[in-house]
A and B are shown apart, each in its own frame.
Chain A
Amino acid sequence: MENRIGVFVCHCGINIATTVDVKAVVAAIKDYPGVVHAEDYIYMCSDPGQGMIQERIRKKSLNGVVVASCSPTLHEVTFRNTVARVGINPYRCEIANIREHCSWVHSDRAEATVKAIKIVKTVIEKVKLNEELTPIAIPITKRALVIGGGIAGIQAALDTANAGYEVILVEKQPSIGGHMIQLSETFPTLDCSQCILTPKMVEVGHHPQIRLYTYSEVEEVSGYVGNFKVRIRKKKRWVDFDKCIGCGICMEKCPVEVPSEFEEGLAKRKAIYIPFPQAVPAKPVIDAAHCLWFQTGKCRICEKLCPTGAIDYEQQEEIIEEEVGAIVVATGYDLYGMENIGEYGGGRYQDVINGLQFERLLSASGPTQGVVRRPSDGKVPKRVAFISCVGSRDPELHKPYCSKVCCMYLTKHAMLYKHRVPDGEAIVFYIDIRSDGKGYEEFVQRAQEEDHVTYIRGKVSKIYENNGELVIMAADTLSGKPLEVSCDLVVLGMAIVPSPGVEELIRKLKIQVDTNGFLTEAHPKLRPVETLTPGIFLAGCGQAPRDIPDTVAQASGAASKALEMFGQEQLHHDPAVATVNEDICSGCGLCVPLCPYEAREIEVIKGKRIAVVNEVLCEGCGSCVAACPSGAAQQRNLQDSQLFRMSEAVTIK
């Protein structure tokens, strides 16, 4: 086939044209071998730009296209679709990146122009040998796995299930609900968290399309987009859920008391327990680490009392295998530990508590029935300090990022405290107040003007206990004066950190986290709910600190991404993958351990060992191609022959 290539050089407004002389690029390429047309345009991705390309293809009978523009990650798909609509195989269209790789990183116009010309020439050489390819079809299992049963996981599961697809929801705690179910009232509308969340939890529990595995963890994930195989480990709960009727008599009579995780250590639970009354499922588990029977070999009271014989001390772990097409990771957050903040007592002072503990003190179902009492002596505190940015925005010692929700929840805390203790004094210490959501700034104003919460701009340098009071040393940076304030209770707005255990999970899923341990999205702006691994989506605080409305919106976004997949008959995989020339392959197997996608394996074909390629798993990274000692492994449309011609185009004069 004679190559009739068209080259289209984009100005990208001033992004390229300021640094690269696009006219000079066109002039230099116009007569290059194989090129029958070259021209420039201000915005090639615009409708007129794309129309122009199509018109030139028709008129000049082009059979290959090079668009010199931005990165292929942005517009490769755009331009391949453009040429496909006028009958050219999309894999005969390539992008020459003269923006990210050239204009944006250089300042000398003459040199940048020379480099841009070289980039374009290499891509022309590539297109000359590009084959016409068709995408590889993959079947889809139309079932989703959601990891994490907080508000993010609940929302993603419900949206997917309500669209008619099966969902498997895995939660490591005994109940779904996450941290949201611990909250008292929610900003800025002050609706009760339990009132708005429990209907959704109940819906999950009863939904015919949702299979709920609580007290379970994802053990292993294999496969690929549309075809994941998941092994789920159901931990030993020592209670047979089929027999248990949730009567609760076992919990009433259990003699062991341990600090309740749900109450953040402010109340006790039993060794056999349901974490909170509205739990889903409302059936208990035994905490073997504290159970008398497991620890001392005595007791078994729960077994004697259970009316249905549901207690099973012999229960074994169960491994469940499921096949799913999409995975939503909604692993949530934890609070940075107070032990990290030595200057605030490092967790030594009983009356210095974190935000979740204060939520429990405010909650009508909490350890104090919603009366604000301080942990040490049960006294109703008359002056409470709320400190923001504890561990956040502190790149030297702690976390560099803003935890996003603390300004608002501390405002809510101060406001609710004033509602409960009208003659009390609430002081918020802040660096600056970030109230950037709908109705948020009004909420802060209301706290200041109607509820008379005092706001002091300044970071607290130290907290110490003296005579049953907590003394706060700080600076009021607006008046420029150092301050010492005595308080009865201090609430710390601790930094939000990813849930423990995420590190292990991401290795199983082969997805990434950032330097702070938050899950990494595929593109910070345009692909915020996808990961770089196709078929795995993100929702909630596992990806970054965020509040409930943002979490719910993102969870619906993740669900809609899964549904977008499920709406297709089959998936299509990029055909530019590795191939193997069976005549040359010696079956040395060097490529097998190198492949990060487990796409290469040794097969015996007609008595000969061949390292075959699983085209569906192959992501076209090229590791095996580079390692193959005989050159048997090649990558489609990036063959050795192409690479040689591409390098010759810029090295040989």
Chain B
Amino acid sequence: MAQPTNWLYTDKVLEHFTHPQNILMDEADYQEDGRGQVGNVKCGDQMLVVIQVDREKDTVKDVKWKTYGCASAIASTSIMSEMVKGMKLDEAYNISPKEINRELGGLPEHKIHCSVLGDKALRAAINDYYLRSGQTGRIRKEETRVVCQCMNVTDEDIEHAVLDGARTFYEVQERTKAGTGCGQCQDEVEKLVEFYANKHFCELP
């Protein structure tokens, strides 16, 4: 492919976008130990991750994926699939979008939310493996918690708002209606905004 100048994203993103690694091409014959699918096509992105596990070493032996998603989703999942191969399951479970993003050399802020599906699907696949292998005690649930009682807004809603670009209490309020009732949750929402902004948006060198 011709390499244009000043491409939208970093060279690393371009590399993984043009040559995505570990795509699940032969689904019928793949001996999966765990499968996770998140997102949906109506929202514009969907991700499927399947894994093979080395039971003795408790590591990720192989990862394959498929996505209905944009360049950021493709590139971030491709690089994630390389990063987690050989990792301990616990370690792989904890891989964060921020680490993936750092490995990619950074994505534009408004594209970060496109890149969080890969690791989410990976966690679902690992949990699925625990379920299939009878290790139900290891399954971790990603529980949500209601932060704004009046408007029934959860921490997950606030995380999404931050991923969508909200950086202040009022911007989160605009998107989620959090704090438009009694307003008591303002302090907590502000803390969460800071927390999620730090979680997802790293300072790049």
Q: Do A and B come from one complex?
A: no
**Residues of A at under 8 Å CB distance from B?**
none
Chain B residues packing against A (C-beta within 8 Å): none
